[in-house]
Structure formats: structure tokens, C-alpha cells
Amino acid sequence: MRSTLNPNRALHKIQRAYRVNFNHYIRNYSAPVAGAIPLSKQKYVPTSGTYPKGFLASGIYVGVKPANTQFPDLALLASETPCSGAAVFTKNKFQAAPVTVSRQVLEHRSGEGIRAIIINSGCANAVTGKGGLDDASAMGYAVDTCFNSSRSSTPGSGSTLVMSTGVIGQRLPISKILAAIPTAHSSLSAAHTDWLLAARAICTTDTFPKLLSRTFTLPSTPGTTYSLAGMTKGAGMIHPNMATLLGMLFTDAPVPAKTLEPLLTHVVDRSFNAISVDGDTSTNDTLAFLANGAAGGEPVTSLDSADGKAITEVVASFAQQLSQLVVRDGEGATKFVRVRVINAPSFPDARKIASTIARSPLVKTALYGKDANWGRILCAIGYTDGLSPGAVVPEKTSVSFVPADRSEPLKLLVKGEPETVDEIRAAKILEDEDLEILVDLGGGERKEGREEASYWFCDFSHASFLSCPSIARSFAS
């Protein structure tokens, strides 16, 4: 495996892969080159990164879909040494073959000894029967062979997690993929350009690749710098119930699987499980987290320890930023909205209300129309299911718009009483791309209620369901 890639060659690969015309609002098979990414989205694409020690990445062209003649569509992320792993998966009952295979791998190994993640775009390998399971297993086996990893015939005995994304109900061109995996392996690199190519290779209708990295320290080893990297993909079929489409986190901090699993569970409920684009939960949703400990230090064995609390805060904040990129790329979206519910009797109550508002088509369309129709927000609060008794008291409930510049909130409803809305200021606030909806429950019936939760979502526009789905489907042939 090489550790560097000629920058000119990498740039040429990226330019060839993503040359595309943006004269019209078109969702493409894969994210375009830097120069063709919509101007409003270019600021989200990193030009450099700080990646975890011992992790390598590659993104290559296979041609999973016949219509794809040049775009990278196979990504490989790997650790130079076996590492700890954890993942959360979709709760959709039609779970894709890669979900089943990856779950088996983690269960068989108790989350230890994981070596890599292989991802293809262009075909979801979902609802494909036994043949689809065989294909997913074959992908993992091919990667294991590249690392000379031992495995038995027992299902899940490999060391590679498998992910797929794309059209549901079609078989993978497995021979083409298997033939390309050795090239993906030999192309592995620590360079930023290859991490970016991998992030682009997993895209489908995304308009930009979603990649982040950062450094952090832990209290027990203040002199050691750790790194955290993550990539995700998604623009439609986003309302996760365990993760969102596909996402991967990597760190060189020493976190064993028994700590990594509860850490990921805590983090996902505050990030990838707190975003919504269209209210649909995919068959393939997977978020994986690998830790190889390559930077050294004492293992984080408890989330209650100082190190455990510190890494939880770091990863939660990072995962929120990463997941929010999916919302910013929502199909047809013109708004990025945070709904924040405060002073709730419990975190589940706050989260359920935030989720209901984020999923409301009436709220989404009002925001697209730049209409300060707070009645739709109140309506969504009122029909939220599963709340604890007394969680919502109309006479205590307040709703406000918080402008993007964080200036004085525009009060719409105060303790159940409607405010006289400054329509001119409301229109100005709704002109911005970013908006926060603040819902204050006033503690509900129990005055001690002080819990809060946030959800991030986008609006519904004309393009949300007219242009994008048909374009995505057109690549099936």
C-alpha cells in the first residue's frame, strides 16, 4: 500500500470524474469536481485534512451502473492494523444485504479485529435475496484476502464491513466489483486527495462530498494529539431511525469495542438520528465507527471517566457537524433549519416534538414559501405521539424564530398567547438560508422540566420530489 499520491494525478482523476454541467438544477450520479460544485456548497468541501494515524483511503471507478462511464463508485477505508469497530443500522424491515453481513461481522468478532470498510455506490444491493447476501459476503472476502486476513466459512467471520447505496431491488455487477477491489487496495493512501476521492465515490444524488476531520486531546494524555475523521453521503430518503444512509467515523484514539458501542449509540441520537430531509428511512442506513489506537495512550474503558466524557463530547459535536452536511444537501432544499425544543420534562419528549416538526410537510412548505405560519409549527407540536403526560401545556408554550445572525428572536407565540408579528422582519429572516425555530415548553406540568433536544431539517421545494427522484432513477439502466 502506498502512503502518498502524486497531487497532479489526483487532481486529474477528480477533474475527469466530476466534469458536469450545472446549467440546470440536476442531481448527478456522483459529486462534481470542485470547480463545478454549486457555489453555495463549495465552502463545505475541505481543501485539506488531519486524518487519524494508520487509516488509509481510496476511491476508484468500477462502473456499477452501465450509465456511469467515469465517476468513482467504489471506496475502501482501511486501518493498517486491526481495530475496534461498532455500528448502528437501519430499522427498516427490508434491510439490505450489506447491513446483514456487516452486523454479522461485528457480532462474530465482538467488535474487535475489524480491518476495513468497502462501499459501492450505484446499487443498494437491497431486496436481492440470497444472491445479494452472497454478493455482500464476497465483497468482504475479497478485501480480507488483500489483507491476508484469516476467516472461516462461518457467516460474519471476516474483518471487513460492507456498505452499498443506490437503487433498490437490483443485483450488483459483482464480478466487476470483485475484479476492482485489488486496485482499490493498492490505491490506499493517507493523502487528503484520496480521502476526498473516497468521500466522492460513495455519493449518489449528492451535489458535494461530505468529509470532515479534526484533532483533539484527552485529559489523561494532554501531550498526545488524536485525530477524528468522518465521511457521509445522503441527500434523499433521510429520516433515520438508527443512522442516515451511509456514514463512517475513524479515530486513532484507543477506544475498545465495549466502549465504542455505547459511545456511538449516545452520539447517534444527538446527530445522525436528529436529521430529516424527506421523512423516509432507507433500507441501507449504516453508521460505523472504527478506532485503531495508533496514536497511543491509555484505553478509554469507561464513558464515565474523564477521558470517556471528553471523547463523548468531541465525537458528539463532530457527528452533529457531519450529519448536518446531509441536510444542507437535501434534495431540492433551500433552507437549513434547526428546531430546538427547550424546557421539556424529558429528553425523549423534547426529541419527539422536534422530530415531528422536522417531518411536517406543512412546516417544510411554509418555510420554502417564506411564510411565517407558526400555526403549522404549533399544530405539529399538538399532534406529536408518545409524549409523557403533561409534557405540553398550551398556556406555557412559546415559539420564536431565531435569525441566522443570532440577533433578537422574533417572538411568534408567548405562553400560549399570539404575538403581533412584524411581517417585514419575518420576511427578512426567512430570506436567509439558515434559521432556528425555538420551542419553549416552559417545563410542561412539571416546573422542573429543563431537558432539551434539537433536530436539523430542510424545506420542501418544487425540486424536492419532482426533479430529483426521477433523475436518480434514470441511472438505474
Annotated catalytic residue 265: no
Query: How far is C-alpha 353 from the geometric centre of its chain's CA atoms?
Result: 21
Q: How far apart are CA 239 and CA 41, in angstroms?
A: 22
Q: Which residues contact 229 (CB under 8 A, 6 or more apart)?
A: 49, 50, 51, 52, 55, 195, 211, 212, 213, 249, 250, 251
| Alpha-helical runs (H) found in 164-272 | 174-186, 192-201, 257-268
Q: How far apart are CA 372 and CA 367, in angstroms?
A: 7
Q: Among 90, 193, 207, 244, which one carries the catalytic annotation?
A: 244
Residue 291 parent element (H or E)? strand 286-291
C-alpha cell at 273: 438520528
Q: How far apart are CA 143 and CA 414, in angstroms?
A: 58
On the 0-12 / 13-18 / 19+ scale of CB atoms within 10 A, 473 is: exposed
Count the Cβ atoms, other than its own, within 10 Å of residue 168.
Answer: 17
Which residues form the catalytic set?
Answer: 244
